[in-house]
Structures are given as structure tokens and as C-alpha cells.
Amino acid sequence: MVTQRLFTLELTGAPVAAAEARETLNEFMEPMEVEMGASKFIVVDDRDGHIPLVRNKAVDQFISYFQNKGRRQFEIWLDRYSQYGPMLREILKEYELPEELAYLAMIESGLNPKAYSRANASGMWQFIYSTGKKYGLRRTWYVDERRDPEKSTHAAAKFLLDLFKEFDHWYLALAAYNGGPGRVHRSTRLHQTSDFWQLHSLPRETRNYIPYYLAAAIISSNPKEYGFKDPQTKQLQYEYVDIDQSADLAVLARSAGVTLKTLKEYNPELRQSATPVDVTYRLRIPTGKKDKFMAEFNALPADQRFAPQHVVHKVRRGESLWTISKKYRVSIHDLAAVNKIRNRHRLSVGQKLTIPVRRTSSGALLASSGPSGHKKIVYKVKRGDTLGHLAEDYNTLARYIRRWNKLEYGQYILPGQKLTLWIKDDVAQTDTQDNRGRVKITHTVKRGDTIGHIADNYRVSSRNILSWNKLRSRQHIYPGQKLTLWVKNDTAQKVSRNSNQGKKVTYTVKRGDTIGHIADDYNSTAGKIRAWNNVKSEAYIRPGQKLTIWLESDQAKNSAEEVKIYYTVKRGDTLSKIAVNHRVRIVSILKWNKLNKSQTIFPGQKLAIWVKQG
């Protein structure tokens, strides 16, 4: 049954598409097709300055429907009308419009501010985007003013006033509100009349629209006469507070002493779980809550009151609004609106875009329990932090942090956001220990050093190094920088014994050299040599280039004991045999003698070889 379908939609709590409900009703009532043309009318209300309310066979069909199969649906509408009706009538009065127009929102949306349709019409008055924009309703990432009951009613009043001036008859104006002015004009020209009941060529939905409206208006103006009880719901009363920065709705709700659901009901135009970032937002809260709200909200620290709701993206070569919107999971429309982009097909490399970011409605949702052998800590996100960095610092995995905090994959974390982390007991002990029984030393950063490497060498945590030196997470350190460390006494003594025992050598690159070969020769790694010389992983070295290499103390000693000899190749010799006999590497022999791997050696050839003395 159509009643069952409509009522089920209402009970789900989802925004109900009134236009869809009307289509379903039209299908159900098709056998009772509205009789256009000659018909008997009963005048219910024909006062001057009001919309004439009349009854005929078509109107009575809809009244009968609302009294029987559609009763539960209409009771919900009456209940909402008791909430919004006074506000609707007051605004219509400002524009000197008939108060009966308030019932039009009833059949458009069921007086549901979040109603929508398949034609992308939204709000209590079912504006499509273009018409809403024409009458001053904004749609941004944060708000859709078509869903604002007050602003959309002002816009609807202006639109209806324009239609009435165009047609000079309310039935035709309302038909044009449903089917469009052009369609109504064509029908009046075709039938050579402005009598709505004679316009047989109008689509069935528009022909049913006026009787549908009249039935709702007649019943709502006198519910008891048609078997309905007076609704008990009180008028929605509220007052405003100005929020000048983006704030989390959950924080605002707690400050006002209401539930998050209630706050959203008072502010249905909000599309996100936060107020806008770019303008001062007038927040509605229940009447009588303003003093409590101002006291509690202003008592909160600024980082708890306000939270940034965007990130900045720098456009790279080959990127478009489409690829960026997919990366951040936002619509192209919102991306263009926030950045005031007119030409969506033209972006400049290096251009900075503000990316609106979705947040959970309650900030970071903290897990109540974690794995055994782990300790719970609460971490406050700093600028530059990522889940990957935090996972590395706390010896865990990014997917665990997402699970503990109920974060979606790809969701950004924001400075000031609090995250729950479950870390191993030994990591927690290292990370939270004080400096008693420790020695303060100063470490001079060398080329290639990282916070992680320094932490491993001194057996301390990365977080402590950052804390001791007031560094942000992932802040770059540079050669020559002095870092304060608090280390155990035995670690300090070991560092003192080993300091300054390494040796710095400068190597001149020869033709055929690679960083891997040089690393093998000096018993080092390619990564270290690249770090010491600031050579990127994809960069090549060239002959004549100077490379700095740091030898360990035993390497420096061994290099001083090596001497250069010349070996004469004999019949049957191979590079492998010569390398084994002299305890050196094949790649070293090739390098010392500027040979390629493809070259063969021959008897009598002299090879330079560096061997250890003794």
C-alpha cells in the first residue's frame, strides 16, 4: 500500500522525498483521475487577500485519502506544521502573501527541511540548485541554505510573489511552481483560458497538484472538523549565537547542554559536522540555552573550541580538479566553490588549493580497550604529523591507529586532534621515563643523521629527542645542529670513548664507478654515501666528482696499513683466482685498473692491487 510505503520512509529518519511520495500517490489514485472542466464546487474560504479554498470531486478524493489510507502520514505533517507554521506565516506576512501558502511546503516536502528529490531539489520548499541560487540561497561545502527553514521560506516567498505577478491567479502560480512557468503558459495559450480547471493538457502530476494542495490546506485549517486531533508538538523556539571560526558540532552541542542530534535538528542546513571556516556562522540553539553555552564554550581552550577543517594542496603537473577531488574524496563542485574557481579545466602548476576535509562528528573516537601487553596513551596531533609517521615513532602500524580511532582509510588527521594509541609496555616506559639517573650530553648532527638513527644509537625514543629539543614531529634536522640528549651513564661513557675515532676521506669518482661499487670498497652502504653527499636516489655520479666518505675506526686503521703492489698475470689466471689469492674483491681490481666487467685479462698484463701489509 502507498500509505505503508510513505510511513516506512518517515520512520527511517532519512530525508523523505515528498515529490517521490507525490508520484507514488499519483500512481495509486490514477483510477480516480482528476476531472478537469465542468465540475461542482463548494467554496470553503474566499476571503479577499487569501487563496480561494474550494472543494470539488477531485479535492474530496484527496481529503478522503488523507482521512483514511494517508492518515498517519498527514498526522506527521500536522505535527511538523505546529513546529514550523508560526515562522512560515510570519515570513509570508512580511511579503503580504496569503498565509495559506504555508501549506504548500506541506505537500512539497512534508515540512521536512532535509527532503530531497530525484531532480536534486532539496529542502522544505524543494528548490533545485539554480532556482535557489537565483533567490539568494547558497550551497557550499559546509551549508546548503535550501535546507534552512527561514532562508528558504524567504526565497520561496519571493519566487511565489514573482509567479503571482506573472500569472495574476494563485492556482496558475502554484501550477507553475510545480511544473514550470513555460508549461503553464503553453497550456493557457492552447486552451485560450486562464481557468486552471480547463487546462486538460497539463501533465497529470500538475493537474493533481492543485487538488492535492487544496485538500491539505482545507484539512490543516480545521483539523478537528476532518477527524484529526490538534498536534501537541510545540513551536520550534531558538536563539542565535555567532561562531566566528570552524567548530566541531559535538563540542557546540556539549556546550549548549543538548544532544548532537538536537543541535542538527535546529541547524539542518549544515552539511558537515562542523560550522563553516570562511564566515561567521549564526548557530541556532534552544531558547534559554545561550548563557550556559557562552559560559561553557568560552571556558574551553582555543584548540578545543576551534579545529581547522581543511588542508592545503599544491597542484602538481598533470593534476586536474577531477584527480584532486578523487584523492581527497570531495566533489568537484565543492572543490571549485571553496576555491572560487570559475574555469574548472584550468589549473596552474604550483597553485595552492584549499581542500575541505570531512571529520567525524565527535572528533577522534577513542577505543575503550586495546591489545594485552600495551599501554594506552592519548597523543595530540601536531602540524606535519601523518599516521605513517606516528606508527613509525611508536613502533606500531597505521592501520591499527585507524582502527583504534575509527578513522576511514584516506581520512586526514588534523593539528589539535587527539588520538588514542596502544603502545608496547617497553616503548611506553622509554617514552615516558624522566631524566633521573641519566647524563645530559650534546650530539652534533652529521650528514645522513635522522632522529630515528640517533635514537637507536643512544637507546632513547624518538619522542623524547623531539621533546628535549622542542622539535615538531618530522621536523628536519641538519648537519652541525646541536641536540640535547639524556642518556644512561654507560651509554655516555661508550660515546665518549668512540667519539672522533672515525676518519673522513675524500674520494674522486672515476669512469665506470657506481655508488654501490664504492660502498663495497669502503665497507659502507650506498644509502650512507648518498646521505653524506646529499645525492638523491635517482641521481647519477660523474667522473671527477668528489665524494665524502666516513670510515669507522677499524676501517681507518686498516686503510692506513694497505700498500699498492703490481701483479703480473700468468697463463690460466682469472680475476676471481687473483682476488682470492690477494684477499680482495673482483670489483676492487676492476676499479683499481679501470677495467670493465666485459674485458678479459691476458698473460703478462700488470694489475695494480692494494693489499694489507704483513
Residue with cell 539568494: 136
SS3 23: helix
The widest CA-to-CA distance across the chain, in whole angstroms, is 126
Q: Which of 126, 121, 120 is nearest to 156 (CA)?
A: 126
SS3 312: strand
Contact 384, 473 (CB under 8 A): yes
CB count in 10 Å sphere of residue 390: 21
Contact 405, 359 (CB under 8 A): no
Distance CA 167, CA 257 (A): 49
408 catalytic? Reply is no
Distance CA 527, CA 519 (A): 9
Catalytic residue among 108, 205, 296, 561: 108
Compute the C-alpha angle 447/451/452, nearest 5°: 110
Q: Which of 426, 386, 384 is nearest to 402 (CA)?
A: 386
SS3 586: helix
CA distances (Å), origin 299, targets 172, 296, 516: 56, 5, 60
Distance CA 42, CA 510 (A): 106
Dihedral sign for Cα atoms in the order 455, 457, 460, 466: negative
SS3 482: strand
Q: Which of 17, 8, 12, 228 is nearest to 107 (CA)?
A: 17
Beta strands in 227-280 (DSSP E): 238-243
Phi first, then psi: what are they for 187, rounded to 5°?
-70, -40
Distance CA 90, CA 150 (A): 10
C-alpha cell at 348: 596552474
Torsion of CA 163, 154, 277, 299, to 10 degrees: -170
Provide the residue type at 2 as one letter: V
Distance, first Cα to last Cα, the chain: 103
Give 568's strand partners: 606
CB count in 10 Å sphere of residue 597: 9
Residues noted as catalytic = 108
